[in-house]
């Protein structure tokens, strides 16, 4: 099976042109670009749409099923991507129009080129190529494309797909979604490329904390105002972080990284049990590693009176929390209540729980082996994803939910996600399609214990 990078990019360009911006409360008009994208997929990938069934879920999410021939006892495999993108933001910051694919200086630019249409593209290419070769899967293959990953919506397409599969008694043996990728190891102090595969993800919650007061004219204030009390609560939250914990997933990250880090780090990481206290202090010092070992509680917004000469009747702050597996939305609420004090009201605005941790067994090894083949010079590292993805819903029906996009993404391109000039290197689309094709060929293709093809 040979994949042609330029031909793949020519089929990619139209996908970027559909302005599939998700809204928490979508109406028919919002869903039109999604329907247009679906129509394009039908035209561009005729074999996929002839041989796979496709259901439209929640108005615009897509659930494809490729029936296996039943020769493998393995549970079905699901490849995930999301169809939606975040808005372009400030247009003057873009070098090129955001909703068109532009090639320049070794990169492709456009909203969604990395987050997350590159996975949709490579999966479609892989399945179309396998069908062209006359191959058919041994067990069922699902392609699951949510349409509102980027917003917190009660009508989550991914959630609805999971509920649908559940209602049909489907348990999945492997789920692959966005999250990790191949990148430079510098952020972890590793002088090589790394292929990071997410085993779990943090939860998140927004809390509104409010102090109430009598109010009145500011010419006759009391000893303090609601703003002063809510400010003290903000300081208390910052001075009382939630406790640090070393998750199994994070230990695995450190173990995998240790041989490539400096001697001191390698020693501490290889004696994790004995050096737990100092290690947690060390990890707590840097933003990136601190976020791996505790639930973070960032005070992000504040509000007081509407005018300078008014004593506020209430003052509030918003606290955005990223929840470590093991904590819950409720345990974080209790922490905030205890730290802020009795006279502060704590209200949950929105939240989702952290995911369970996926198994790291032979199914993980298969994904790790293929990631290693994709980037032979990279160290494969399992990790805890700090952001959220549709993958979190799938733990309900799968113990092997991994987050890995089969692309090399340099640090500057990683930083372009959700901002202006989103980009990806223009090479590697062929290798990404090959990754998914190999995954489908390998997964479930053998009796248990037999060597991989
Ligand atoms: Zn995404």
pLDDT, tens digit (0-9, with 9 covering 90-100), for 60-95: 999 999 999 988 889 999 999 999 999 999 999 999
For the stretch 2-61, pLDDT in tens is: 999 999 999 999 999 999 999 988 888 899 999 999 999 999 999 999 999 999 999 999
421 CA distance to ligand 1 centroid (A)? 16
Number of other CB atoms surrounding residue 45 within 10 Å: 19
> What average pLDDT does range 275-304 have in this prediction?
89
Give the strands of the sheet with 107-109, arranged side by side.
102-104, 107-109, 423-425
319 CA distance to ligand 1 centroid (A)? 23
pLDDT confidence of residue 447: 52
Is 412's pLDDT higher than 50? yes
72 CA distance to ligand 1 centroid (A)? 32
429 CA distance to ligand 1 centroid (A)? 17
* Percent residues over pLDDT 70 in the chain: 97
The CATH architecture that domain 5-201+355-442 belongs to is: 3-Layer(aba) Sandwich (3.40)
390 CA distance to ligand 1 centroid (A)? 8
Give Cα 367 to chain centroid, integer Å: 17
114 CA distance to ligand 1 centroid (A)? 8
Q: Which fold does the domain 203-351 belong to in CATH?
A: Alpha-Beta Plaits (3.30.70)
Q: Dmax over Cα atoms in the chain, in whole Å?
A: 83
Contact 69, 141 (CB under 8 A): no
Domain boundaries, the chain: 5-201+355-442, 203-351
416 CA distance to ligand 1 centroid (A)? 12
Contact 350, 205 (CB under 8 A): yes
85 CA distance to ligand 1 centroid (A)? 8
Is 220's pLDDT higher than 50? yes
> What average pLDDT does range 302-306 have in this prediction?
96
261 CA distance to ligand 1 centroid (A)? 30
pLDDT confidence of residue 452: 47
* Structure token pair of residue 25: 């409360």
* Structure token pair of residue 249: 């997933």
29 CA distance to ligand 1 centroid (A)? 22
189 CA distance to ligand 1 centroid (A)? 26
240 CA distance to ligand 1 centroid (A)? 32
Rounded Cα distance between 151 and 94, Å, is 23
409 CA distance to ligand 1 centroid (A)? 14
Rounded Cα distance between 55 and 159, Å, is 15
217 CA distance to ligand 1 centroid (A)? 48
> What average pLDDT does range 226-246 have in this prediction?
97
280 CA distance to ligand 1 centroid (A)? 30
Rounded Cα distance between 210 and 136, Å, is 59
* Percent residues over pLDDT 90 in the chain: 82
443 CA distance to ligand 1 centroid (A)? 25
112 CA distance to ligand 1 centroid (A)? 8
86 CA distance to ligand 1 centroid (A)? 9
Rounded Cα distance between 29 and 206, Å, is 29
Number of other CB atoms surrounding residue 300 within 10 Å: 9
Is 132's pLDDT higher than 70? yes
116 CA distance to ligand 1 centroid (A)? 5
294 CA distance to ligand 1 centroid (A)? 23
For the stretch 365-393, pLDDT in tens is: 999 999 999 999 999 999 999 989 999 99
228 CA distance to ligand 1 centroid (A)? 39
167 CA distance to ligand 1 centroid (A)? 26
Specify the pTM.
0.90
135 CA distance to ligand 1 centroid (A)? 30
389 CA distance to ligand 1 centroid (A)? 6
197 CA distance to ligand 1 centroid (A)? 15
pLDDT confidence of residue 260: 84
Position 453 confidence tier, pLDDT thresholds 50, 70, 90: very low
264 CA distance to ligand 1 centroid (A)? 36
């Amino acid at each position: 099976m040979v994949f042609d990078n330029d031909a793949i990019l020519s089929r990619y360009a139209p996908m970027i042109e559909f302005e599939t911006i998700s809204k928490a409360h979508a109406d028919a008009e919002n869903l039109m670009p999604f329907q247009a994208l679906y129509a394009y997929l039908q035209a561009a990938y005729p074999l996929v749409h002839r041989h796979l069934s496709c259901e439209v879920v929640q108005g615009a999410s897509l659930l494809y099923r490729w029936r296996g021939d039943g020769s493998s006892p393995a549970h079905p495999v699901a490849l995930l991507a999301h169809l939606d993108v975040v808005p372009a933001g400030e247009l003057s910051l873009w070098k090129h129009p955001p909703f068109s694919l532009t090639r320049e200086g070794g990169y492709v630019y456009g909203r969604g080129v990395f987050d997350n249409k590159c996975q949709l593209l490579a999966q479609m290419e892989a399945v179309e190529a396998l069908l062209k070769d006359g191959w058919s899967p041994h067990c069922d293959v699902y392609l699951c494309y949510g349409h509102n990953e980027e917003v917190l919506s009660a009508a989550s397409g991914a959630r609805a797909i999971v509920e649908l599969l559940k209602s049909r008694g489907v348990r999945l043996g492997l789920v692959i979604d966005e999250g990790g990728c191949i990148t430079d190891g510098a952020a972890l102090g590793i002088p090589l490329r790394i292929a990071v595969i997410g085993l779990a993800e943090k939860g998140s919650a927004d809390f509104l904390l409010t102090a109430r007061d009598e109010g009145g004219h500011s010419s006759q204030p009391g000893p303090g105002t609601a703003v002063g009390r809510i400010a003290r609560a903000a300081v208390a939250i910052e001075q009382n972080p939630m406790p640090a914990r070393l998750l199994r997933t994070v230990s695995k990250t450190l173990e995998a990284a240790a041989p490539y880090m400096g001697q001191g780090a390698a020693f501490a990481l290889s004696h994790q049990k004995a050096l737990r206290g100092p290690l947690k202090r060390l990890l707590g010092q840097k933003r990136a590693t601190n976020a791996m070992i505790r639930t973070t509680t960032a005070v992000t917004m504040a509000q007081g009176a509407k005018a300078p000469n008014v004593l506020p009747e209430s003052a509030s702050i918003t606290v955005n929390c990223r929840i470590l597996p093991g904590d819950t939305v409720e345990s974080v609420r209790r922490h905030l209540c205890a730290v802020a004090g009795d006279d502060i009201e704590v209200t949950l605005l929105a939240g989702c729980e952290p995911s369970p941790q996926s198994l790291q067994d032979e199914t993980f090894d298969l994904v790790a082996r293929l990631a290693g083949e994709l980037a032979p010079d990279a160290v494969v590292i399992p990790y805890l994803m700090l952001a959220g993805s549709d993958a979190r819903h799938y733990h309900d029906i799968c113990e092997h939910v991994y987050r890995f996009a089969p692309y090399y993404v340099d640090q500057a391109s990683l930083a372009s996600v959700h901002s202006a000039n989103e980009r990806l290197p223009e090479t590697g689309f062929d290798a990404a399609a090959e990754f998914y094709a190999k995954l489908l060929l390998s997964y479930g293709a053998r009796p248990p214990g037999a060597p991989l093809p």
